[in-house]
Amino acid sequence: MPTITRRGARPHTARLASATATALLVGLLSGTGSSAADTAPVATGADLDYSCGLPDHNGVPSADLAARVEVSTHLPGSAVAGKPIEAGDVGVEVSVPRAGTADLFPSATAVESTSTLAIEAVQGQERAQATWRTTAPGTALPPTGDTLVLAHTGEVPTVTVNASGTLRLLAGALTLTLTPDVGAPVSLSCAPAPHGAREVARLSVPESAEPSAPAGTPSAEPPTKKEEEESGTGNVTVAPRSAAEPPPVQDDDCAHMPTGKLDTSVGEPPPPYRHTVTDLEGIPMCAYAVGLSTVRKQNGSMIINDLAGTPGLMHVRGVVRSEGGGWSPDPLDLDGYSQIWSLAELDLPDARSTFLSFGFVPVSAAVSFETSQITILTSQPHTIDPTTAVNYVAFRQSLRLHDVKVNGTPLDVGPSCRTEKSFRVVLNGNMFSKEYPYVNVFSGGLLTGKVDIPAFTGCGTGGENLNGLFTAAISGPGNEIRMNQAPTCLPGEFPVACPPALPELPSIKPDSSS
C-alpha cells in the first residue's frame, strides 16, 4: 500500500486537478447553502483508506488497488431537528497509483469520472441510507510513477432528524465509473479498508432546538412502512435535493403525444398482394434511454442522456400506422407482411466529451444535441420466419460544441460552433441480441448504428477560425452509437411498466452490431 501524503504535502499537479474541477462546476451548481440551521456552513473533511477491485479482461475483479478517498462537506455547525440538513457542495477526491490503472486504458491521456458513494446517516440506534453521486471532469493522466487524482464534486441528498443528539455520516461502498478519451468506460468497485475509519462528518442537534412534534414524527408527511423498512427508522430520513435529482415522472408527463411525419424511407418494400396501410391515433407511452457515442478518429466515447444527471424522457406515440400484405395471390397463404410504426421525441441533455487534438493535447467540450422527430419501425417482412424481423429507429441530428477547454484552459469557440448540417441517424434493434434483445418499442432493448458526422462551422471568435480543428478531430464516417432503451411506460387507469425504469448503460464493442 503506498504511503499516504497529507494535504499540505500534495504534489502541485493534484492541486491543479482539484482547482480545475471546482472551476468547471462553479457555474453548474446552485450553491444554496444550509437550510438546516442559522449557523454558517463549516468545511469538514475526512481522509479514508479504500480498496478497489481491478477488473480482468472479463470485467471480474481480480486484483486489489489501494486508494485514498478525501470526502469534504460544508455542513452547518449545528442542526435543527425536523429541518433538512444540507451538506453543501460535496467533494470526493480519489487518489490511486497511476501504475495500478495503466492496464485499464493503456492508450488514454485523460479520463472523466463519476463516483457513487454510499453514506449511512446514524443517530443513536437509528439510521438511513443515502447515495452521493459526484462527477470529475476530464483529468489528464499523469506518468506511470505518479498519483492519479480524481476530484469529484456535486450536490447530494439532504438528511433530516427529528430528535436531539449527535448525527454521524459514515462512508460505505464506492463505485467509480471511468471514461477515458481513448477506449471503453471502466467501472471500479471499492470498499473501505478493513478496520479503517469511515466517519465523514458529525454534527450536533441541540435538545433545545427540537420541534414540538413528538420524537420520531417527521416535520412533513410521515414515512410509509416501506420507507421505514428501507431506511431502518422513521426518525432519520434522506431526501434528494431538488436541484440535483430529476422530478418523478407523473402520468401527465408520459401522456404527451408527439406529432409530426414518419420517415417511411426506413420501411421494408411492401408485398405485391393485399398491401394495406392504416393510420391510427396512437398510444401515449414514455421511456428512458441511455447510451454511448464513439468518435472513431479518437477511439473514445461519451455518455448520451447520462442517468447520473437529469436524463431526458423519450415520449412515444405508439402504433400510429400499421401495414399488412401478402406475398401470394392466395389469401390462405400464411406468409404475410407486417409493419408497425411509432413516432417519438427526445430532448437530450448536454453531454461532455474529451478528445485529443493532434494526438496529444486533451480537448474537452460540452455537446448539445438538436434532434428531430424520431421514427420507430418494427417490421416483419415474412411472418412465417421470425428471423426476418427488423427494428429501426431513425432521426436527424445536429451537434453544437461549447464550454471548450484545451489542456484545461478555456477556449472561446463562440455560440454557433456546430455541424454545418444535420446528419441522419438510423439505429437497428436486434431481437436476438445477447446483450439487450430489442423486440419492439414496448419492450425496449439495445439499438446500434453508425453515423457520418459532418464538418464543423461557426467555431471561433474575433476572426479566429477553429472549424478545421474540430472537423479534423471529430468529423467523418463510422462513429458508433449504442443506446439501451428501457421498456415503455403506458400510463392510464391501469398503468403498465410505470413509472419508467432506468436502463443500464451498454458497453462499447468496437465494430459490433449487437
Average pLDDT for residues 451-480, to the nearest whole number? 92
198 found inside a domain: yes
> Of 217, 239, 261, which one is at a domain's C-terminal end?
239
CA distance linking residue 211 with residue 496, whole number of Å: 42
1 found inside a domain: no
Q: Is the pLDDT of residue 167 over 70?
A: yes
Q: Lowest-confidence range among 38-47, 142-151, 158-167, 395-404?
A: 38-47
CA distance linking residue 430 with residue 440, whole number of Å: 9
Q: Are residues 150 and 266 in the same domain?
A: no
495 found inside a domain: no
Q: Are residues 99 and 226 in the same domain?
A: yes
137 found inside a domain: yes
> Of 178, 211, 239, which one is at a domain's C-terminal end?
239
Q: Is the pLDDT of residue 217 over 60?
A: no
509 found inside a domain: no
Average pLDDT for residues 307-324, to the nearest whole number? 91
Contact assessment for residue 445 and residue 437, using Cβ atoms and an 8 Å cutoff:
yes
Contact assessment for residue 448 and residue 455, using Cβ atoms and an 8 Å cutoff:
no
402 found inside a domain: yes
Contact assessment for residue 35 and residue 18, using Cβ atoms and an 8 Å cutoff:
no
Q: Are residues 37 and 140 in the same domain?
A: yes
Q: Are residues 216 and 286 in the same domain?
A: no
HSE, CB side, 13 Å, CA atoms: give it for residue 212. 0
429 found inside a domain: yes
- Residue-by-residue DSSP string for 126-179: EEEEEEEEEEEEEEEPPPTTSEEEEEEEE---EEEE-S-EEEEEEEEEEEEEEE
Q: Lowest-confidence range among 184-193, 226-235, 256-265, 291-300?
A: 226-235
Q: Are residues 272 and 378 in the same domain?
A: yes
> Of 180, 204, 239, which one is at a domain's C-terminal end?
239
Q: 94-120, pLDDT tens digit by residue? A: 999 988 888 888 888 888 888 989 888
Specify which residues 129 forms β-bridges with. 120
pLDDT at 361: 61
User: Residue 42 belongs to what domain range?
Assistant: 7-239
Q: Lowest-confidence range among 77-81, 145-149, 409-413, 510-514?
A: 510-514
Residue 182's contacts (CB-CB under 8 Å, 6 or more residues apart) are 105, 107, 108, 109, 298, 299, 300, 356
**Domain count for the chain:** 2
Q: Are residues 300 and 429 in the same domain?
A: yes
Q: What is the mean pLDDT of the chain?
A: 78
CA distance linking residue 76 with residue 63, whole number of Å: 40
pLDDT band at 449 (very low <50, low <70, confident <90, very high): very high
Grid cell, residue 340, equals: 408497425
pLDDT at 105: 82
pLDDT band at 477 (very low <50, low <70, confident <90, very high): very high
Query: Which is it for the CA torsion 15, 18, 19, 20, positive or negative?
Result: positive
Percentage above 70 pLDDT, the chain: 79
63 found inside a domain: yes
- Which H helix or E strand runs over 275? strand 273-279
Q: Cα dist. 250→226, 256, 400 in Å?
A: 20, 11, 31
Q: Are residues 459 and 328 in the same domain?
A: yes
What pTM value is reported for the model?
Answer: 0.55
Q: Are residues 316 and 393 in the same domain?
A: yes
Q: Are residues 308 and 371 in the same domain?
A: yes
pLDDT band at 350 (very low <50, low <70, confident <90, very high): very high
Q: Are residues 225 and 318 in the same domain?
A: no
Q: Are residues 274 and 386 in the same domain?
A: yes
Q: Are residues 192 and 329 in the same domain?
A: no
